[in-house]
Structure 1
Amino acid sequence: MVVTFFPGFRWRPQLKLAQVTTPEQPLDLVQGGCLEQVTVAYETYGQLSEGRDNVILVAHALTGDSHPAAHDQYDEQGWWEPLIGPGRPLDTTRFFVICANVLGGCQGTTGPSSLEPATGKPYGMRFPEITVKDMVRVQKRLLDILGIEHLSLVVGGSMGGMQAVQWAVDYPGFVDAAIVIAAPGYSSPQAIAYNRVGRQAVTLDPAWQNGDYYGSPGPKQGLAAARALGMITYQSELSMSYKFGRRTRAGQFEIENYLDYQGEGMVKRFDANSYLYLLRALDLFDIGTGYSSYEAALARIDARILVVGVSSDILYPPHQQEELAKALRQAGVCTDFAIIDSPHGHDGFLIDFHLLRPILTNFINKVLPVSAVVPIRQWIKFRASSLAYLGARLVPDVSV
């Protein structure tokens, strides 16, 4: 098993690895080509029931990873900390929660920074083009290896929400319910335009070297600029005005300092080529791909769906979630719809947990049977170790 971690990755003892392809069983990709060696990095929470029927799959957003929550009081917080754990919406006394780094990523799952078997060098831009559908196929192979034949729920926000609805379309009968947060049924021209400029920022940096920059600092300036653009699309005018106003520090507006800080952080923790590939996967997303029509794809769904929008989202505005919910209902899919009234823009699904908690909890309790699968002593031990996290909210700087 060949595994490559981007230098900024922090290893966690709870991280697990699985090879989901072989030369005999390669992964054929939607856009053409195949991958013979795919390793998936994933983490799990809670206890798998004897019937293996209490599984929740959490799908992460663009620059996320397989660590949505801490495993104990000594572990670092995850990007969905207040939503996963005993007594939280994704209750680990009831459910076995899995989160995997996506195909094309740089946090343990095979991507452009991984070694190409034929050359022994990083793929770079020789890595084949990938889609959200390919990400879901890799997750399905992981579940097959784990002996899991059914999902109670798939849930995610932004690119994670795209994966959730893709799961419901591609694997009817396998998924009981899906929660789609801050994601559309297909990428709009405006969202594609944002991503186009972000990719150009990377590829026009001379240090990008056509993607063969490994072993060098790489396109630091280009990736930082791309991240700055992304951060603008994740905010709202109201949130920027509240957080930064027209305040200055060291000769710069605070919003400029913030964007610089985000860009610097991105360069340290993420691979520029992965960013290019994942942005392109977002552009290509259309739930109708591979089916006779968008409507025909949605009509395949037999899961219960919850669609959630964020009121101030400018990247995937709430009217796109409303459109998706309407199309689902017209296709005969049992669909719930909600909008959280958040000032934080697209990042609202990573910040406004006090608004998401009741919506997710009510939906999950309504569509999934209640059963405690974790022994009470284990629950008490975990509950006590995680008291410091209960009610916690991630800082607004956490973004997709």
Structure 2
Amino acid sequence: MNQPTSRAPLSADPLPASGAWRPGDPIGDRRFAHLATDRAFVLEGGGALHDVEIAYETWGELDADGANAVLVCHALTGDSHAAGRAGPGHPTAGWWDALIGPGRPLDTDRWFVVCPNVLGGCQGSTGPASLDPATGAPYGSSFPVVTVRDMVRTQAALADQLGVTRWLSVIGGSMGGMQALEWGVMFPDRVASVVAIATTVAASAQQIALSSVQRSAIALDPAWRGGDYYDAGPGEGPHQGLAVARGMAQITYRTEGVYGERFGRKELDPLDDRYTLWQRFDVEGYLDYHGAKLVRRFDANSYLVINRAMDLHDIGRGRGGVESALARVRAPVMTMAIGSDALYPPYQQELICDTLGSIGRECVHVVIDSPDGHDAFLIETAQVGAALAPFLADVEKTR
């Protein structure tokens, strides 16, 4: 039997140099907010951007008083398409589709739900794949470092344009939870509640270490070309590095038990009496599949920028520490942990709630029972929704 003697290609078809959305591509359900058109948007870590665009989507109708708006913040490789079908402009269905819609926990018959693509992203918001207005070419390697606080400031400007003076709630998981916490600290008068799921007050050493090797996988791909690869043809971009980064992350998103039950030691390339380095187990094929899937809808430079923003996340930075920062929060907070989460362990969410309680702030803590690890905030939508719905109903009564 012929056996693999080299690494199997990620895809039978050439993968794009970048999966970023570009002007001229189908718009889908996106809308666009134009920011920093008359002055520079100065970034927390240095540098500035001009003519910033933030892509976003909305569901439901904003009340006349603007008081029924809910902001949903996405995680690392998410985007503004939190609900809705796959189709032109949207290669995948909404990542929280089961939660957003009429009669669902984020009930769009009652609430106006908004989800923006973060600054630095690649699905319509200004990021490394966007054209630099000063040069007319993609930013590429010249795109500056952004932070979660920078992302939140663009969302505040978007809220101004939408006529939202105060969110009924700001909700997010993982990196989305980082944004939700920053909203509570940065704009305490503009949020009536905060829901922080599977997240932390500051990236831990282990989280930073995991992120670092993911970024290195991209940077060590020769096709990354120092970040300036946007003129590369199909199959010539840094897809191998981005796919490896995704594979590393994918391992941390689930648990050993889930991998064992689903894949065990099943073989994708059968082992006979002659072993090679590249015969794959089924789990290896799974990682390859998810790597190729991400390459088709994401951008390697955006992965670097957003991933770094997560490492830089620390709500206590420049604020006298975590307790001092959380003392700024005035709104009730719900923290949500996943019992099996090894990437953002439950103690990190418990710390948020315990600290808020110790300084007299209102916080309720919920634990999601799931074997699926960190990804459970995207999978266990029934449990997430069962906690969200009554919490938001109580906030609505007292707003």
Question: What TM-score results when the alignment is normalised by the length of structure 1?
Answer: 0.88
The CA deviation at 1:5 is 7.9
1:288 equivalenced with 2:316 (yes/no) = yes
Query: Partner of 2:374 in structure 1?
Result: 346
- Do structure 1's residue 120 and structure 2's residue 139 form an aligned pair? no
Cα distance, 1:8–1:142 mapped onto 2, change above 3 Å: closer
Q: Where does residue 287 of structure 2 map in the other structure?
A: 259
Q: 1:73 to 1:188 in 2, by over 3 A?
A: closer
Q: Write the distance in 2 (CA, Å) between the matches of 1:261 and 1:136.
A: 33
Q: Which residue among 230, 249, 252 is the counterpart of 1:233?
A: 252
**TM superposition shift of 1:73:** 11
Question: 1:8–1:269: 8 Å Cα contact kept in structure 2?
Answer: no
- Aligned-residue offset at 1:64: 0.5
The count of aligned residue pairs is 367
Distance 2:21 2:360 in 1: 47
- Determine the structure 1 residue equivalent to 2:32: 17
Taking a change above 3 Å as real, the CA distance of residues 363 and 7 of structure 1, as seen in their structure-2 partners, is closer
1:220 aligned partner: 239
SS for the counterpart of 2:130 is: coil
- What are the residue-to-residue correspondences of 1:289-328 with 2, within 5 Å? 289-328=317-356
Matches of 1:28 and 1:7, distance apart in 2: 24
Question: Following TM superposition, by how much is the alpha carbon of 1:350 offset from its aligned partner in structure 2, in angstroms?
Answer: 0.5
Partner of 1:81: 97
Match of residue 140, structure 1, among 150, 156, 160: 156
User: Helix, strand or coil for the counterpart of 1:369?
Assistant: helix
Structure 1 stretches lacking a partner, 5+ long: 372-400
**Once structures 1 and 2 are overlaid, which stretch shifts more, 7-16 or 123-132?**
7-16
Checking the alignment, whether the CA contact within 8 Å between 2:334 and 2:365 is kept in structure 1 is yes
Cα distance in structure 2, aligned partners of 1:193 and 1:49: 45
Paired with 1:230 and 1:214, the residues of 2 have a C-alpha distance of 24
Please give the root-mean-square deviation of Cα atoms over the aligned residues, in Å.
2.1
Deviations 1:187-232 (A, max 9, x none): 0000000000000000011111110111113211111110100101
Residues of 2 paired with 1:70 and 1:119: CA distance?
36
C-alpha deviation, 1:13, in angstroms: 3.5
Does structure 1 conserve the Cα–Cα contact (< 8 Å) formed by 2:67 and 2:168?
yes
Q: Indicate the residue corresponding to 1:250 in structure 2.
A: 269
| Of 168, 190, 193, the match for 1:152 | 168
Moved over 2 A (4+): 7-14, 71-77
Structure 1: how far apart are the matches of 2:141 and 2:340?
35
Secondary structure (helix, strand or coil) at the match of 1:156 reads strand
More off after superposition, 210-219 vs 173-182: 210-219
Q: Distance in 2 between matches of 1:178 and 1:147?
A: 19
Give me the identity figure in percent: 48
Matched residues in 2 for 1:5 and 1:194: separation?
23
1:180 match: secondary structure: strand
How far 1:28 sits from its partner (Å)?
Answer: 1.2
What do residues 280-327 of structure 1 show as CA deviations (whole Å, max 9, x unaligned)? 000000011231221111000001100001111111111111111111
Q: 1:357 to 1:267 in 2, by over 3 A?
A: same
CA contact (8 A) 1:162 1:184 kept: yes
Contact kept? 1:288, 1:294, Cα under 8 Å: yes
SS in 2 for 1:82: coil
State the distance in 2 between where 1:316 and 1:77 align: 25
Comparing 299-308 and 211-220, the one that deviates more = 211-220
The answer as to 2:68 corresponding to 1:54 is yes
| SS of match in other structure, 1:249 | coil
Cα shift at 1:7:
5.2
Distance in 1 between the 2:294 and 2:245 partners? 10
| TM-score where L is the length of structure 2 | 0.88
- Within the candidate set 48, 53, 65, 1:34 is matched to 48
Structure 2 residue ranges without an equivalent (≥5): 1-17, 271-279
Q: CA deviation at 1:77?
A: 3.1
SS of corresponding position for 2:296: helix
TM-superposed CA distance for 1:70, in Å, is 1.4
- When Rg is computed on C-alpha atoms for both structures, the one with the higher figure is 2
Partners of 1:112 and 1:125 within 8 A in 2 = yes
C-alpha contact (below 8 Å) 2:168/2:395 kept by paired residues: no
Determine the C-alpha separation between the residues in 1 that align with 2:329 and 2:398.
23
Deviations 1:350-370 (A, max 9, x none): 001122121111211222239
Letter in 2 for 1:52: G
Contact 1:20 1:145 in 2 (8 A): no
Q: CA deviation at 1:8?
A: 8.8
8 Å contact kept, 2:86–2:94? no
CA distance in 2, matches of 1:227, 1:312: 20
Q: Partners of 2:162 and 2:227 in 1: how far apart?
A: 34
Report the residue type matching 2:33 in the other structure: A
Amino acid aligned to 1:100: P
